[in-house]
C-alpha cells in the first residue's frame, strides 16, 4: 500500500535515532577494551543514516537547531576510533600477503602495528570521554526527542513515492557532479590516480545517495520501491569500491609518517601492495560509473 511522506520519514527517523541510542552501550564497551568489534562502525553508520535523512528530505523535516551539528560532532568522534581500527585492519590484511617477505619487512610490520595500536587506544579513550560529556548528554536528549516525535514539516500527507523522490534525485546529481575524476581515469596502471580528496568526495556522495534511496524504497509504491532499491544496491557497491581506495590512501599517508630505519622496508612493501589493490578497486568503480 502506498504510504505518505510523513509515514516513511517517521519510521526512518525513529529507527535511526533508536539505533544510535542502542549503540551507546556497545560503543562504551568497545571504548573500554576488546568486545563488540563492530560497535563503533555500526554506531557511525546509524548517525550517518539519520543525518542523511534529515538532509536529503529537508522540505519535509524541520529538526531543532543544533541537531545536525550534534550528529556531526558524534560521527567525527566515532570516526577517529573507527579510522584507527580500519588502519590496523588494513595493515593486518597487507601483512597476511607479505608473510613471505624478507625479515626487514616482517619486523617493520610488527613495529608499525605497535604504533597503530597505540593510536587506536588513544582514540578509544577519546570516545570514552565523549560518552561521559555534556555534549553526549545533549545528543541523547535530542535523539530521544526525535524518536518520540520526528520533526515533520511541509506536506507530510503527500504521497511518499512522488514527494520524496526529488530528494534521491538530488543526491544522484551530486554523485554525477563528483564522478568526473574517476570516470576519466582511463589508464589505471599508467598514470596517477585521482586525488584522494576527489575520491573521498565521490564516496561520500555515493553513500548519501544510497541512504536516501533506502528510505524511499519503503514508499509502498512497487515501481518506486524497485527503482530505489536498485539505486541503493548500485551505490552500495560503488561506496565499497571507493572505500577500498580511500582506506588505502589514508593508510599510505599514515605509514609514510611512521617510516624510519626500522620500518622503511615495510612501509614500501605495504604501500606498493595497497596501491595495487586500490587501483583495481578504482578501475572497477570507474567501469561501474561509466555504464
Domain ranges in the chain are 5-285
pLDDT tens column, 37-77? 688 999 999 999 999 999 999 999 999 999 999 999 999 99
Q: Cell 614500501 sits at which residue?
A: 268
pLDDT at position 66 is 96
For residue 176, give the nearest of 224, 234, 248 by alpha carbon: 234
Quickly list H helices, the chain.
5-32, 39-56, 67-97, 103-131, 134-148, 160-163, 165-178, 180-183, 196-216, 222-257, 264-290
Count of CB atoms situated within 10 Å of the CB of 130? 20
The 10s digit of each residue's pLDDT in 271-287 is 999 999 999 999 999 98
Cell of 113: 602495528
Task: Please give the Cα distance from 45 to 35 (Å, whole number).
Answer: 18
- DSSP summary character for residue 58: G
d(CA 211, CA 234): 12
Distance CA 133, CA 70 (A): 12
Question: Could you read off the pLDDT of 79-104 as tens digits, one per residue?
Answer: 999 999 999 999 999 999 998 878 99
Residue 205 · residue 243 · CB < 8 Å: no
| Mean pLDDT to the nearest integer, 21-38 | 80
**Residue among 163, 290, 164 at smallest CA distance from 234:** 290
Taking the C-alpha atoms of residue 101 and residue 272, their distance in angstroms, rounded to an integer, is: 13
CATH topology for 5-285? CHAD domain (1.40.20)
* pLDDT higher than threshold 60 for residue 188: no
- pTM of this structure: 0.92
The C-alpha torsion from 217 through 205 and 286 to 270, rounded to 10°, is -120
What pLDDT, on a 0 to 100 scale, did the predictor assign at position 180?
A: 92
Amino acid at each position: 500500500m502506498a504510504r505518505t511522506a510523513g509515514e516513511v520519514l517517521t519510521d526512518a527517523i525513529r529507527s535511526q535515532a533508536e539505533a544510535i541510542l542502542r549503540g551507546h552501550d556497545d560503543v562504551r564497551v568497545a571504548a573500554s577494551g576488546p568486545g563488540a568489534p563492530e560497535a563503533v562502525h555500526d554506531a557511525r553508520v546509524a548517525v550517518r543514516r539519520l543525518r542523511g535523512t534529515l538532509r536529503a528530505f529537508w522540505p519535509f523535516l524541520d529538526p531543532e537547531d543544533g541537531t545536525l551539528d550534534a550528529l556531526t560532532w558524534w560521527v567525527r568522534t566515532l570516526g577517529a576510533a573507527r579510522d584507527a581500527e580500519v588502519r590496523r585492519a588494513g595493515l593486518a590484511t597487507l601483512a597476511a600477503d607479505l608473510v613471505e617477505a624478507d625479515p626487514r619487512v616482517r619486523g617493520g610490520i610488527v613495529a608499525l602495528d605497535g604504533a597503530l595500536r597505540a593510536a587506536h587506544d588513544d582514540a578509544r579513550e577519546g570516545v570514552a570521554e565523549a560518552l561521559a560529556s555534556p555534549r553526549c548528554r545533549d545528543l541523547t536528549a535530542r535523539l530521544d526527542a526525535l524518536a518520540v516525535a520526528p520533526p515533520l514539516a511541509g506536506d507530510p500527507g503527500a504521497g511518499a513515492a512522488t514527494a520524496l523522490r526529488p530528494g534521491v534525485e538530488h543526491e544522484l546529481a551530486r554523485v554525477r557532479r563528483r564522478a568526473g575524476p574517476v570516470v576519466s581515469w582511463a589508464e589505471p596502471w599508467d598514470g596517477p590516480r585521482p586525488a584522494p580528496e576527489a575520491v573521498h568526495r565521490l564516496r561520500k556522495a555515493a553513500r548519501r545517495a544510497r541512504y536516501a534511496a533506502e528510505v524511499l524504497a519503503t514508499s509502498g509504491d512497487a515501481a518506486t520501491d524497485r527503482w530505489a532499491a536498485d539505486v541503493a544496491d548500485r551505490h552500495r557497491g560503488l561506496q565499497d569500491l571507493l572505500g577500498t581506495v580511500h582506506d588505502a590512501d589514508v593508510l599510505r599517508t599514515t605509514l609514510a609518517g611512521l617510516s624510519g630505519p626500522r620500518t622503511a622496508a615495510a612501509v614500501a612493501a605495504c604501500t606498493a601492495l595497497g596501491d595495487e589493490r586500490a587501483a583495481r578497486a578504482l578501475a572497477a568503480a570507474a567501469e561501474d560509473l561509466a555504464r
